[in-house]
Amino acid sequence: MTASNSPRVPVAVLISGAGSNMAAILDAAGAADAAFEVVVVISNVPEAGGLTLAAERGVPAVVVDHRGHGRDRQAHERAIQAVLEAHGVEVVALAGYMRLLSPWLVAAWEGRMLNIHPSLLPRHPGLDTHARALAAGDAEAGCTVHLVIDDVDAGPILGQSRVPILPGDDAEALSARVRTAEHVLYPAVLDRFCRDSRRP
Ligand code: GRF
């Protein structure tokens, strides 16, 4: 990690949708003793609701639309990388960023890129986690914050939060319960990660 005089680690949040985790991260960044500040929010989807939430909070919100790059995934990621560098980002938080990353971008941010996944990894990587947890008869569900590696929803686990699965739960009810837990877990893990990264 680059040495910096800034007491707060400059963080980028990458989104594709509603951005409720991003909003929780922005709220946490407002704490007087936060270890990080969000210097830019990037969305690959121009219509992402999170862009408005970020702009309302006065955080630069940038669209890097993947559709302009056709099948050239790395060209899109180079455009993202340019925004990250322009804002002096040191840590990237994926928060509902719905595009697979190429090994190139993952390598560029090795050990400095976090993701949140709505299951207790290693159980239920990928999509439709809540329906799969219910179908499997799991007694509990939860969410995981992990470092991003060149494998989907894998990488060293930095923190997990567990919630019960209750009788009568459907995927929607379970998703809402997990999402509430995500909003507590992600800012807390990100803050600890950034605090630790500043230690000599
Ligand atoms: C969250 O459930 C997160 O775990 C998953 O995508 C969802 C994003 O939701 N990776 P939001 O955009 O933060 O509301």
Supply the pTM of this predicted model.
0.95
Confidence grade of residue 159 (pLDDT, cut at 50, 70, 90): very high
Atom of ligand 1 nearest to the CA of 20: 14
pLDDT score for 70: 82
| Alpha helices (H) in 6-139, listed in sequence order | 20-29, 49-56, 73-86, 103-108, 129-135
Q: What's the gap between Cα 168 and its chain centre?
A: 29
**What mean pLDDT is reported for the chain?**
95
pLDDT at 160 over 60: yes
**Annotated catalytic residue, options 66, 69, 87, 117:** 117
65 is written with which tokens? 């639309």
CA of 111 to the centre of ligand 1 (A): 21
Q: Which of 13, 73, 18 is nearest to 42 (CA)?
A: 13
pLDDT in tens, 52-103: 999 999 999 999 999 988 888 999 999 999 999 999 999 999 999 999 999 9
